Chain A
Amino acid sequence: MFRLLARRLALIVPTFIGVTLLGFLLIHSIPGDPVEVRVGERGISPERLAYFRHELGLDQPLWKQFLDYQGQLLQGDLGRSVVTQESVWTEFKTFFPATLELAACALAFAIIVGLPLGVMAAVRRGSALDYGLIGLSVTGASMPIFWWGLMAILVFSVSLGWTPVSGRIDELFYIEPRTGFLLIDSWLSGEPGAFRSAVRHLVLPAIVLGTIPLATIARMTRSAMLEVLGEDYVRTARAKGLAPGRIVVVHALRNALIPVVTVLGLQVGALLGGAILTETVFAWPGVGHWLVESVQRRDYNVLQGGTLLIAVLVMLVNLGVDVLYGVLNPRLRR
């Protein structure tokens, strides 16, 4: 088990370097540097520009800049936002809990609904439920998520008035940001109606964001279950006279979960990508929204730092999934 972990960790290092290198090269290939934007300022002379350049280390050869950058990274310094002058890391810490809350709820929704649906569709193969599921999941996987979000707002918020249009919570509430997760914080604050407001704001974005993972999980579970249900050991379980429910859950699902878990891991990347669009549509103050704005504001430090952080996050999740896979599949142990 630990050897598995160590091997995976060792693989992460070159990927990490590659990721930072890619980010570094990409950003530095953007024409113009942070100093050039100051060319038109009053009192700017070539000497002062050169001084600023030197200050920022921009006159060093590229490889040295990269090494310096790596050193900075390892010390946890991701640079500063060109627009707000805040440290990128601080800004990320501010916005990340919102995204995490949204993504976690979306994933929970996808699993809670998708897994049982997939199991039932496999058990009742060829039924209306089965075809319905396949149809829905193809549709769900083919929808542009930003369109789905806007349509959902149109129907549920504007027409039916069930949910609010945007934001995380009604503006009249001020909630002490203890954990950064509004669901928890609003509950803890004890303010009447705060928690309910937070939930109402979360429902629609979570469902919209979770739709594509739902479709994928349901499909994956269905096909994994179909495969497993045809295996010899399921027949043996039936030959033992076990109840059908037990066979499905204890014998079949346990094995079917193995490929499903790997798919779950992949969903995290999809969730983060989808979060970018969902947050834009719902004006959700998370990391995705922050990154999109950084592109529009040409805040390249934020783009570079934020992208790097997300990449690291994805790598860690992949590592976690690998480990989980090793736990679930006894054939990999020892």
Chain B
Amino acid sequence: MSATVAAPGAGLFRRLLENPGAVAGLTIMVVLIVVAAAAPLIAPYGPAEQFRESFLTPPFQQAAFPLGTDSLGRDILTRLIYGARLSLLIGLIVVALSLTVGTLLGLAAAFASGVLDVAIMRLMDVLLVFPSLLLAIVVVAILGPGLTNAMLAVAVVLLPGYVRLARAAALGELAREYVVATRSAGAGVLRLMLLVVLPNCAAPLIVQATLGFSAAILDAAALGFLGLGAQPPTPEWGTMLADALQFYQRAWWLLTFPGIAILVTVMAFNLLGDGLRDALDPKLRR
């Protein structure tokens, strides 16, 4: 008996490409990855390099500083490029962390049921009560400011989403005949969990992960802005905006460009995630 695997395959990719928003998101994502990977090659200078004769240079005026410089004379374009690297890394780590832990917890809850299930879900309910930024702030307050702690905090905030999703999908699969059959044939729980049930829950988790990327970047930027995330001189986009607070009324470019960078990146992942969700949804309405 073959398991009905919701095949992420050629059909999916084709449907995805039909969605103009998803194509745009995918393109931007690829561009970002390239930029981030090639940062040392593309960026004109180093991210912490200061040009003491050129504080607060406006953009589009000097070829040396196309997007202007900040209050310490650092080139904005360079910092944006290195910031891309940082943002992608943040998204990757946060999503990897919350996805893994969340899926394991969700699967465990679905399989173990009973007390463990209730305990895990209650814990997730508690986490969900707090507004996400507030929870992240509390976690960072305890651990201390810094990029690593900020990433950890955001991972905690995103955790319940994956737990619920994994648990719901797993429960749905557990009721299916092929699982009952495999179980009664004596398959071990761990093997069943990871090799049989998990692949069929993959689709919604993938969508959530993509959308989680954008949530991670936004939340990390917010923490950076509040001074609780990446600390200066790290060129994280949110931290750059915190720097901009003092001078933005005089120097609008300090504010505009990092914000646009965040906006475009987050939008790309949102569009991609929405496109994935539509492509994976069999009830697609035309």
Contact = CB atoms under 8 A, between A and B. Distances in A.
B21 interface: yes
A214 to B, nearest CB: 16
Interface string A1-35: 00000000000001100110011001101100000
A22 B138 CA distance: 11
Given A15-B125, A30-B141, A272-B134, A226 B285 contact: yes
Interface residues of A, number: 48
Interface in B234-286: 238, 241, 244-245, 248-249, 252, 255-256, 258-259, 262-263, 266-267, 270-271, 274, 285
A311 B125 CA distance: 11
Interface string A127-168: 000000010001101111111101100100010000000000
A183 interface: no
Interface of B is mostly: helix
Interface string A259-290: 00000000001101110110010000000000
Interface of A is mostly: helix
A151 B255 contact: yes
B218 interface: yes
Contacts of A143: 259, 262-263, 266
B129 A19 contact: yes
Contacts of A158: 249
B222 interface: yes
Interface string B111-143: 000000000001101110111111001111110
B214 A27 contact: no
Contact of B238 (A144, A151, A227, A310): A144
Contacts of B141: 30, 295, 300, 303
A226 B284 CA distance: 12
Interface in B76-135: 122-123, 125-127, 129-134
A314 B125 CA distance: 12
Contacts of B222: 144-146, 277
B139 A26 contact: yes
Contacts of A18: 122-123, 125-126
A110 interface: no
B221 interface: yes
Contacts of A276: 131, 133-134, 137
Nearest to A165: B249
Given A15-B126, A277-B133, A277-B222, A142 B138 contact: no
B239 to A, nearest CB: 12
B168 to A, nearest CB: 16
A125 to B, nearest CB: 10
Contact of B266 (A134, A142, A150, A273): A142
A144 B259 contact: yes
Contact of A138 (B130, B258, B267): B267
20 contacts: A15-B129, A22-B126, A26-B138, A30-B142, A142-B218, A142-B263, A142-B267, A142-B270, A144-B218, A154-B248, A154-B249, A269-B131, A277-B133, A296-B227, A307-B134, A310-B130, A310-B134, A311-B130, A314-B130, A314-B131
